[in-house]
């Protein structure tokens, strides 16, 4: 991570959207500040008997449109500004796809690969105890993000439930099915990315078959998006993970790569297949493809490399992969950037279904989950493209304008307390 402050991105995008909507500053000023920022330090007993102190955060950006919602990230480089930015993006994401949530995000500054399973469990439980006063199914509902998964959500649900004295499945989403998770949740963000690529290409060039693509970050989101796009006939020529990238002009064998990555500890730098070249992460981003899908971390496309991007479309699977300065360069080059708040909203949409099922003690089948996801996301994509035509602005500014309009309308109706 460089010195760039991702919260500056948030402020710049809100201001652009507010200008487009001709809003008075008094109408949107509150959207530039998180409602609540919690920073905690907590001890964890390590397996060797020593005690280590960790730092954690939970930021609630907005509850104007409903309870706060957002993932929890475990990463050694995370800081409060990153969590603030991620929380704000959640507010705009929920608003742009029209689900009744505000935005939040949480994190622990830790490299979880250095912890044993029992240490990770103790860290998760103690972090949950630290943020417990401000989370809950009606207040703020966490979910998985980078380096957290269904097991971590299970520990959070259990810790919260033990403190309350009864099972509260609706406190987190992205849980395993056995404890109230939703079918289709694990694949939801990647499925949403696939839907966004499909619907975007439909508006420009038509079919996906044979279209060249590159995916940066073959994690939960990137690998599902790659798998589903590969199944639709896309030619994925470049992929990467934190260890480096792979390239094959004829199209990589995505199912084989995903199978290889499913074995714990396997990294792409050690992957071997005839004809497959090893390239750097930087080369993945600038590879000669039609569609580039950044699905790793923030600030990957910057003013340093934006000029070298060859893709015609960038579909942001990761949160905040493009800096404001890079956006300007990409716009000048005529590259269409489908913003994160739309492209990766599949995860929070199905999280919403999970929460709805938990509250109603219902279980939807996977077909209903996937069809309803498709319906909500296609409607949102359509609204963003319509807003783009109306405002004659970039897809990002148009998406933010649509979301900001919904947010300030909710604020206006509720008015300022007291």
Beta carbons of 185 and 354 less than 8 angstroms apart: yes
Beta carbons of 205 and 291 less than 8 angstroms apart: no
Closest residue to ligand NAD, judged by C-beta, is 219
Beta carbons of 289 and 214 less than 8 angstroms apart: yes
DSSP 342-381: HHTTHHHHHHHHHHHHHHHT----HHHHHHHHHHHHHHHH
- Is 23 or 175 the residue whose CB approaches ligand NAD more closely? 175
Cβ count within 10 A of residue 245: 24
Q: Is residue 318 near ligand NAD by the rule CB under 6 A?
A: yes
Instruction: Single out the residue of 144, 170, 181, 184 in contact with ligand NAD (rule: CB under 6 A).
Output: 144
Minimum distance between the CB of residue 418 and ligand NAD, rounded to whole angstroms?
Answer: 36
Q: Give the DSSP letter of residue 65.
A: T
Q: Is residue 145 near ligand NAD by the rule CB under 6 A?
A: yes
Instruction: Single out the residue of 295, 311, 315, 399 in contact with ligand NAD (rule: CB under 6 A).
Output: 295
- Is 242 or 359 the residue whose CB approaches ligand NAD more closely? 242
Q: Is residue 394 near ligand NAD by the rule CB under 6 A?
A: no
Q: Is residue 219 near ligand NAD by the rule CB under 6 A?
A: yes
Q: Give the DSSP letter of residue 77.
A: T
Q: Is residue 317 near ligand NAD by the rule CB under 6 A?
A: yes
What is the residue whose two structure tokens read 């919690």? Answer: 38
Instruction: Single out the residue of 221, 236, 289, 330 in contact with ligand NAD (rule: CB under 6 A).
Output: 221
The verdict on whether omega for the bond into residue 418 sits within 30 degrees of 0, i.e. cis, is yes
- Is 41 or 113 the residue whose CB approaches ligand NAD more closely? 113
Distance CA 91, CA 66 (A): 10
Cβ count within 10 A of residue 146: 21
Told to judge if 114 belongs to the known catalytic residues of this protein, a careful annotator would answer no
Minimum distance between the CB of residue 325 and ligand NAD, rounded to whole angstroms?
Answer: 19
Helix (H), strand (E) counts: the chain = 14, 12
Interacting stretch for ligand NAD, rule CB under 6 A, among 49-57, 215-223, 304-312, 403-411?
A: 215-223
Distance CA 170, CA 158 (A): 11
Question: How long a stretch of residues is the chain?
Answer: 418
Q: Is residue 9 near ligand NAD by the rule CB under 6 A?
A: no
Minimum distance between the CB of residue 210 and ligand NAD, rounded to whole angstroms?
Answer: 25
Minimum distance between the CB of residue 29 and ligand NAD, rounded to whole angstroms?
Answer: 27
Q: Is residue 189 near ligand NAD by the rule CB under 6 A?
A: yes
Q: Is residue 347 near ligand NAD by the rule CB under 6 A?
A: yes
Contacts with ligand NAD by CB under 6 A: the residue count is: 24
Minimum distance between the CB of residue 220 and ligand NAD, rounded to whole angstroms?
Answer: 4
CA-based max dimension of the chain:
68
Instruction: Single out the residue of 299, 319, 336, 370 in contact with ligand NAD (rule: CB under 6 A).
Output: 319
Q: Is residue 344 near ligand NAD by the rule CB under 6 A?
A: yes
Instruction: Single out the residue of 60, 64, 128, 147 in contact with ligand NAD (rule: CB under 6 A).
Output: 147
Beta carbons of 302 and 325 less than 8 angstroms apart: yes
Distance CA 188, CA 374 (A): 10
- Is 173 or 397 the residue whose CB approaches ligand NAD more closely? 173
Q: Is residue 277 exposed (0-12), middle (13-18) or buried (19+ Cβ within 10 Å)? A: exposed
Q: Is residue 216 near ligand NAD by the rule CB under 6 A?
A: yes
Cβ count within 10 A of residue 29: 12
Minimum distance between the CB of residue 27 and ligand NAD, rounded to whole angstroms?
Answer: 28
> Which of 69, 84, 105, 235 is flagged as catalytic?
105
Minimum distance between the CB of residue 183 and ligand NAD, rounded to whole angstroms?
Answer: 15
- Report the half-sphere exposure of 6 (CA within 13 A, side-chain side): 24
Give the distance, in angstroms, between the CA of residue 269 and the centroid of all CA atoms in the same chain: 25
Minimum distance between the CB of residue 240 and ligand NAD, rounded to whole angstroms?
Answer: 5
- Is 144 or 154 the residue whose CB approaches ligand NAD more closely? 144
Phi/psi region, residue 313 (left: phi>0; alpha: psi -120 to 50; beta: rest), is: beta
Instruction: Single out the residue of 14, 72, 146, 309 in contact with ligand NAD (rule: CB under 6 A).
Output: 146
Residues 232-261 touching ligand NAD, rule: CB under 6 A, are 240-242
What is the residue whose two structure tokens read 């919602």? Answer: 69
Catalytic residues, by residue number, are 105
Interface contacts to ligand NAD, rule CB under 6 A: 144-147, 189, 216-222, 240-242, 281, 295-297, 317-319, 344, 347
């Amino acid at each position: 991570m460089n010195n760039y402050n991702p919260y500056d991105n948030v402020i710049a995008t809100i201001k652009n959207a507010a200008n487009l909507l001709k809003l008075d500053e008094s109408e949107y000023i509150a959207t530039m500040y998180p409602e609540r920022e919690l920073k905690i330090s907590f001890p964890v007993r390590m397996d060797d008997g020593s005690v280590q102190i960790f730092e954690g955060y939970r930021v609630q950006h907005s509850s104007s449109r409903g309870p706060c919602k957002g993932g929890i990230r475990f990463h050694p480089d995370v800081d409060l500004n990153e969590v603030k930015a991620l929380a704000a993006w959640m507010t705009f994401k929920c608003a742009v796809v029209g689900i009744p949530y505000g935005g939040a995000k949480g994190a622990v500054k830790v490299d979880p690969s250095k912890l044993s399973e029992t240490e990770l469990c103790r860290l998760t439980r103690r972090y949950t105890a630290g943020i417990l006063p401000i989370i809950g199914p009606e207040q703020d509902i966490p979910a998985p993000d980078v380096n957290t998964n269904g097991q971590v959500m299970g520990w959070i649900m259990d810790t919260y439930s033990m403190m309350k004295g009864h099972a509260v499945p609706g406190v987190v989403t992205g849980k395993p099915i056995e404890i109230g998770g939703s079918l289709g949740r694990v694949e939801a963000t990647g499925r949403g990315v696939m839907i966004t690529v499909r619907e975007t290409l439909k508006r420009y060039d038509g079919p996906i078959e044979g279209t060249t693509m590159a995916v940066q970050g073959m994690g939960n989101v990137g690998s599902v998006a790659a798998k589903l796009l590969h199944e639709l006939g896309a030619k994925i020529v470049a992929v990467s993970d934190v260890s480096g990238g792979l390239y094959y002009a004829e199209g990589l064998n995505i199912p084989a790569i995903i199978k290889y990555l499913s074995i714990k500890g396997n990294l792409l730098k050690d992957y071997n297949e005839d004809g497959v070249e090893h390239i750097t992460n930087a080369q993945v981003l600038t590879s000669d493809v039609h569609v580039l899908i950044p699905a790793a971390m923030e600030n990957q496309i910057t003013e340093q490399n934006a000029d070298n991007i060859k893709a015609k479309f960038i579909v942001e699977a990761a949160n905040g992969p493009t800096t404001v300065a890079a956006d300007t360069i990409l716009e000048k080059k005529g590259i269409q950037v489908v913003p994160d708040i739309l492209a990766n909203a599949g995860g929070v949409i199905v999280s919403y279904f999970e929460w709805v099922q938990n509250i109603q003690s219902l279980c939807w089948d996977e077909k209903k989950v996937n069809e309803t996801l498709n319906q909500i996301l296609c409607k949102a994509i359509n609204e963003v493209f319509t807003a783009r035509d109306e405002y004659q602005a970039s897809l990002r500014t148009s998406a933010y304008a649509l979301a900001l309009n919904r947010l300030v309308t909710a604020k206006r109706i509720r008015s300022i307390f007291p």
